[in-house]
Amino acid sequence: MRLERSKPLSLHMEDGQSVSLHSVDLERDMDASYLRGLVGADGVPLTLPSGTRVTLLSGESVLFVGITQPDGSVKDFLSCSAEEGEFEDL
């Protein structure tokens, strides 16, 4: 599902930095959900450092919380597992 700027979209990173988005693709399957194809408000694709916790917001509403992956996608936080195979502690 493509989310676009019909409402303000922003991506907040764990370091406090915030980026306005033009669009992002949300993909869901049985095991996990992913954000892919993040495009900044300036139309330039975003590159995020792997392992960063991010939150996707529309206005003040939280739409998605996840961890950036080496391939540039963001995997939903609850599907990200710890080294021992356990779920991350919220």
Greater confidence, 1 or 22? 22
Nearest to 66 by CA among 81, 58, 78, 49: 78
pLDDT of residue 39: 92
pLDDT digits (tens, 9 = 90+) for 29-66: 888 889 999 999 999 999 889 999 999 998 888 989 99
Q: How many CB atoms lie within 10 A of CB 71?
A: 9
Is the pTM higher than 0.75? The answer reads: yes
What CA–CA distance (Å, rounded) separates 23 from 3? 6
Q: What is the mean pLDDT of the chain?
A: 83
Q: Does residue 48 or residue 89 have the better pLDDT?
A: 48
Query: What's 85's DSSP letter?
Result: S
> Residue 25 in contact with residue 2, Cβ under 8 Å?
yes
